């Protein structure tokens, strides 16, 4: 028996999903909070990445720019600071702070006090015990009321002196007194001063630590080689100092703040124009822009580096360039999709929810030449801000209900809105059944079955007509 072997050469095309492509796809569907966390992690990992607004700053930054820059440094040195919140989140159901509700047995006293006493009250109580000098007390209160939510002094000493009618020396004395209060680091003017106060109280403020505090920019960039040289420490000793530094609290005032429920934040703003058109604008606070810090790259590359260091810098440049480009592409794609949504749902933006049109992901994808899956990712976890409120992007997509007697098809979301309006307008003597609502909608051109009305009513969490009648009788007595 003989066997033959056959060798064939075939040519074909396949799509390879590179890690960069997968990451770009992931970026599209992230919410603004998830994106901020991702960008913060990349800023911490990659010393060549910088915020575009930070690099474009010409001359001395103003107060707002300084605050934004300080916040970025805090996030890169203390990555847990943005997510940490000692008092917990406010429950969206109960409106109570999960970290400040005492138990029936009394609960933890400190937790209860922290949840009910504001930062201002906490500091003023210490001020009354710390001094009997009327001038120092009055000036100290002015200082306390000038603190931001995070516990930093928001106003300049000269501004406080002018506002309270005291000398700058008196303000400085009052400031020094308030800075000695609990929580440690309170009333600092800079992040460096905040950390200095805490280290001094611990008895850990030595020369290497002072050097680290003076060069927090290098700490944020993780330029360990420069830090070892400046502090005259070996790698192990520097790591211990940095670990101690990161154990401090960069925002001492937040221990007395209850975080609110996260509101729906628009990714795109839609503003009507006098001529009936709409102006769309990206929300800059939810669309971070990053650039490659070429100046720092040149400084690093100018020094003799090992092969491993050269590979690290090269990888940082490649990663930073890709991420900056991906974020710009993400913003452009979101704006393009939002523009098409507004174009197809113009009547909604002019007249309200009752004028929503049926719209599918496929219809938008075909209109702008993108894949349906891309539209799905873009609209996930995104919101549109309008003069009538903020709406999730997914809100504008709904199935179609046939029109009665040849009328135009209706959006299911618009029909839900009309059902809600009909029930809201009903009287005690004329509570509408699901069948009556279906008949009224058919009279206006909506071909809808009674069971569909019931399904939509239940999705709106509106009780049935029999239950509404009983509720009316309990509240107001029998119908006359």
pLDDT tens digits along 247-278? 999 999 988 865 554 568 899 999 999 998 99
Characterize 203-240 residue by residue with b for buried, 16 or more Cβ atoms within 10 angstroms of its Cβ, and e for exposed.
eeeeebbebbbebbebbbbebeeebbebbebeeeebee
Is 357 in the same domain as 426? no
Is 388 in the same domain as 412? no
Listed range (5-14, 27-36, 85-94) with the worst mean pLDDT:
85-94
Strand partners, 390: 385
pLDDT band at 407 (very low <50, low <70, confident <90, very high): low
Quick check: is 104 in a domain?
Answer: no
Is 154 in the same domain as 209? yes
**How many Å is the Cα radius of gyration of the chain?**
30
Quick check: is 342 in a domain?
Answer: yes
Q: What is the rounded CA–CA span in Å between residue 262 and residue 388? A: 19
Listed range (267-276, 316-325, 333-342, 465-474) with the worst mean pLDDT:
465-474
pLDDT of residue 267: 94
Q: What is the rounded CA–CA span in Å between residue 265 and residue 153? A: 28
Check: CB of residue 166 under 8 Å from CB of residue 139.
yes
Is 368 in the same domain as 469? no
- Tell me which DSSP letter residue 398 carries: B
- Tell me which DSSP letter residue 188 carries: B
Q: What is the mean pLDDT of residues 87-91?
A: 31
Q: What is the mean pLDDT of residues 32-58?
A: 78
Is 274 in the same domain as 361? yes
Position with higher pLDDT, 389 vs 60? 389
pLDDT band at 343 (very low <50, low <70, confident <90, very high): very high
pLDDT of residue 111: 40
Highest mean pLDDT among 68-77, 83-92, 303-312, 387-396: 387-396
| Boundaries of domain holding 385 | 268-396
**Mean pLDDT rounded to a whole number for the chain:** 80
Is 283 in the same domain as 389? yes
Is 390 in the same domain as 298? yes
Is 303 in the same domain as 251? no
Position with higher pLDDT, 65 vs 207? 207
**Is residue 375 predicted with pLDDT exceeding 70?**
yes
Listed range (61-75, 268-282, 382-396, 454-468) with the worst mean pLDDT:
61-75
pLDDT of residue 105: 34
Q: What is the mean pLDDT of residues 186-201?
A: 94
For 38, how many CA atoms within 13 A lie in the half-sphere containing its CB?
A: 21
Name the residue with tokens 């891309």: 374
Q: Report the predicted TM-score, pTM, of the whole model to 2 decimal places.
A: 0.56
Listed range (57-66, 233-242, 310-319, 401-410) with the worst mean pLDDT:
57-66
Last residue of a domain, one of 360, 380, 396: 396
Last residue of a domain, one of 229, 256, 283: 256
- Tens-digit pLDDT profile for residues 115-127: 467 899 999 999 9
CATH of the domain at 432: 1.10.10
Distant-in-sequence, close-in-space partners of 389: CB < 8 Å, separation ≥ 6: none
pLDDT band at 69 (very low <50, low <70, confident <90, very high): low
pLDDT of residue 91: 29
Quick check: is 103 in a domain?
Answer: no
Is 197 in the same domain as 274? no
pLDDT band at 55 (very low <50, low <70, confident <90, very high): low
Q: What is the mean pLDDT of residues 283-297?
A: 85
Last residue of a domain, one of 223, 256, 289: 256
Quick check: is 76 in a domain?
Answer: no
Q: In what order do the strands lie in the sheet with 389-392?
A: 278-282, 268-272, 383-386, 389-392
What is the percentage of the chain residues whose pLDDT exceeds 70?
Answer: 78
| Domain total of the chain | 3
pLDDT band at 59 (very low <50, low <70, confident <90, very high): very low
Closest CA to 212 of 197, 198, 192: 192
Quick check: is 17 in a domain?
Answer: no
- Positive/negative CA dihedral, 433, 435, 436, 440: positive
Q: What is the mean pLDDT of residues 173-177?
A: 95
Is 205 in the same domain as 290? no
Quick check: is 242 in a domain?
Answer: yes
Check: CB of residue 85 under 8 Å from CB of residue 254.
yes
Is 275 in the same domain as 334? yes
């Amino acid at each position: 028996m003989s066997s033959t072997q056959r060798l064939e050469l075939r040519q074909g095309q396949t799509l390879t999903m590179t890690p960069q492509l997968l990451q770009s796809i992931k970026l599209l569907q992230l919410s603004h909070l998830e994106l901020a966390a991702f960008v913060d992690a990349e800023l911490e990992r990659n010393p060549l990445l910088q915020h575009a607004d930070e690099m474009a700053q010409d001359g001395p930054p103003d107060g707002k720019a300084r605050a934004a820059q300080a916040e970025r440094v805090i996030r890169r040195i203390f990555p847990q600071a943005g997510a940490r919140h000692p008092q917990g989140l406010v429950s969206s159901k109960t409106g109570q702070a999960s970290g400040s509700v005492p138990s029936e047995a009394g609960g933890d006293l400190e937790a209860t006090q922290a949840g009910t006493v504001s930062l201002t009250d906490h500091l003023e109580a210490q001020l009354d015990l710390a001094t009997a000098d009327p001038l120092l007390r009055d000036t100290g209160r002015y200082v306390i009321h000038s603190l931001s939510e995070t516990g930093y002094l928001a106003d300049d000493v000269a501004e406080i002196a002018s506002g309270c009618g005291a000398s700058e020396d008196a303000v400085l004395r009052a400031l020094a007194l308030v800075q000695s209060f609990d929580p440690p680091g309170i009333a600092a003017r800079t992040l460096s001063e905040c950390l200095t106060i805490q280290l001094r109280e611990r008895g850990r403020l030595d020369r290497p630590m002072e050097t680290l505090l003076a060069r927090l920019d290098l700490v944020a960039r993780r330029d360990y080689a420069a830090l070892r040289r400046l502090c005259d420490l070996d790698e192990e000793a520097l790591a211990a100092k940095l670990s101690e530094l990161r154990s401090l609290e960069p925002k001492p005032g937040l221990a007395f703040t209850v975080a609110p429920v996260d509101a729906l934040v628009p990714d795109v703003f839609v503003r009507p124009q006098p001529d009936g058109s709409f102006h769309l604008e990206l929300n800059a606070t939810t669309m971070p822009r990053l650039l490659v810090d070429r100046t720092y790259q040149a400084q690093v590359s100018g020094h003799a580096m090992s092969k491993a260091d050269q590979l690290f810098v090269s990888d940082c440049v490649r990663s930073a360039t890709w991420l900056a480009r991906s974020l710009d592409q993400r913003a452009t794609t979101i704006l393009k999709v939002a523009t098409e949504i507004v174009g197809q749902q113009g009547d909604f933006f002019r007249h309200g929810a009752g004028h929503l049109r049926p719209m599918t992901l496929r219809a938008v994808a075909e209109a702008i030449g993108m894949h349906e899956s891309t539209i799905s990712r873009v609209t996930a976890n995104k919101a549109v801000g309008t003069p009538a409120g903020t709406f999730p992007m997914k809100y504008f997509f709904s199935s179609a209900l046939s029109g009665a007697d040849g009328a135009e098809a209706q959006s299911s979301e618009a029909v839900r809105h009309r059902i809600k309006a009909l029930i809201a307008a009903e009287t005690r003597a004329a509570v509408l059944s699901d069948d009556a609502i279906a008949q009224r909608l058919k009279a206006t051109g909506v071909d809808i079955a009674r069971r569909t009305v019931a399904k939509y009513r239940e999705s709106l969490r509106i009780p049935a007509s029999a239950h509404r009648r009983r509720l009316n009788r309990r509240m107001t007595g029998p119908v006359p």
